Amino acid sequence: MALDQITILGAGGMGTAMAVLLDRSGHRVRLWARRPEFVEQLARAGQNERYLPGIPLPGTIRFTSDLEEALQGSHLVIASVPSAFLRQTLKLASAVLPPGLPVVSVIKGIEQRSFARPSQIILEELGERPVSILSGPSHAEEIARGLPTSVVVAGTDGPLNRLVRDTFNTDRFRVYSNPDAIGVELGGALKNVIGVAAGICDGLGFGDNAKAGLLTRGLAEMTRFGSAMGARPATFLGLAGVGDLITTCYSPFGRNRAFGERVGRGETLAEIQASSPKVAEGVPTCLGVSELARERSVDMPITTALRQILFEGKSPGEAVSDLMDREPKDEWP
């Protein structure tokens, strides 16, 4: 079923990939970006040279920096801006976004100061309305190229979840359902933290043994934290948990893994952020999650070590030594 109009807020890699995917399925798509000059560049180049180079953008996608134009007549909104800028974007959109218009979040992060998940921010800024989360192992580059991808939709609104499945499902993009919105959303955020740590392993030249151990124990941290926040542990064994974790930690497209690799090779947080426009969501998420874990007494040694590396000046080598030298314990408490 083709929707008359879908609006995507955010023209980064994932927002652009969503536009290509939905346009390919016959939906009418408007892609909004905040800066008019960036919108002009998209239209002129016929591709997103900044965030998704080499992927042709169909001429049927409409680009705009005008929120009122972007949302006019829309039947579905997809939120695809970095979590740090989501609240600001929604404050602007709230004046022109119709009441009750459903929103789907494809954002994988949490707000640093409030620790709010994207779906919570959407409801806070836009009021009560149907909200779903679409997450899983889904690099934008592969979605846009039409490579097979499987994801999961979660949320408390059953009709919207079914609409998302009907809207997004293709022979190359498969959508499963999961009622655990908290777990699906946290899985998408927490895997970025472990992704940065995995990149540090790569940058330090560690082998497969170290990386496999990191992913396994990282998944244990994700599950502990998610359970403390009300998520179902089984969710972290699914697409939004271990599935997304594997992709993030091994793919050459993974910006969090690539960010961590540069840290492992000796670059500082400030140096990397100054040299790249791409946002590594795992960096602010690490800070927020480690604070919340400390408040909730959740044991997260990998996340804590990463915070010490990124924000407290600890060397990656010293952090690894401290992790390996911890007191022996049972694998399962």
- The predicted-structure confidence for 18-29, as pLDDT tens digits, reads as follows 999 999 999 999
Give CA–CA dist 155/134, Å, rounded.
Answer: 9
Tell me how far the alpha carbon of residue 76 is from its chain's centroid: 19
The predicted pLDDT at position 24 comes to: 95
The predicted pLDDT at position 332 comes to: 82
Residue 59 has pLDDT above 80, yes or no: yes
DSSP letters along 97-146, please? SPTT--EEE------TTT---HHHHHHHHH-S--EEEEESS--HHHHHTT
- At residue 253, what is the residue type? F
Residue 2 has pLDDT above 70, yes or no: no
Q: What is the pLDDT of residues 115-142, one digit of tens each?
A: 999 999 999 999 999 999 999 999 999 9
Residue 264 has pLDDT above 80, yes or no: yes
The predicted pLDDT at position 113 comes to: 85
The predicted pLDDT at position 3 comes to: 66
- The arithmetic mean of pLDDT across residues 202-231, rounded, is 97
Choosing from 91, 191, 278, 329, which is the catalytic residue? 191
Give CA–CA dist 101/126, Å, rounded.
Answer: 10
pTM for the structure as a whole: 0.94
Tell me which DSSP letter residue 48 carries: B
Average pLDDT, rounded, for the chain:
95
From 289, 155, 320, select the one nearest 222 (Cα to Cα). Answer: 289
Strands (E) in the chain, as ranges, are 6-9, 29-32, 62-64, 76-79, 103-105, 131-135, 149-154, 173-178
- Is residue 191 part of the annotated active site? The answer reads yes
- The arithmetic mean of pLDDT across residues 56-79, rounded, is 97
- The arithmetic mean of pLDDT across residues 52-58, rounded, is 96
Q: Going edge to edge, which strands form the sheet with 173-178? A: 62-64, 29-32, 6-9, 76-79, 103-105, 131-135, 149-154, 173-178
Domain boundaries defined on the chain: 6-179, 183-324
The domain covering 6-179 belongs, at the CATH homologous superfamily level, to NAD(P)-binding Rossmann-like Domain (3.40.50.720)
The predicted pLDDT at position 187 comes to: 98
The predicted pLDDT at position 323 comes to: 96
Share of the chain above pLDDT 70, in %: 99
The predicted pLDDT at position 167 comes to: 95
Residue 180 has pLDDT above 90, yes or no: yes
Q: Are 259 and 272 in contact (CB under 8 A)?
A: yes
Domain 183-324 CATH (choose: 3.40.50.2300, 1.10.1040.10, 3.50.50.60, 1.10.1740.10): 1.10.1040.10
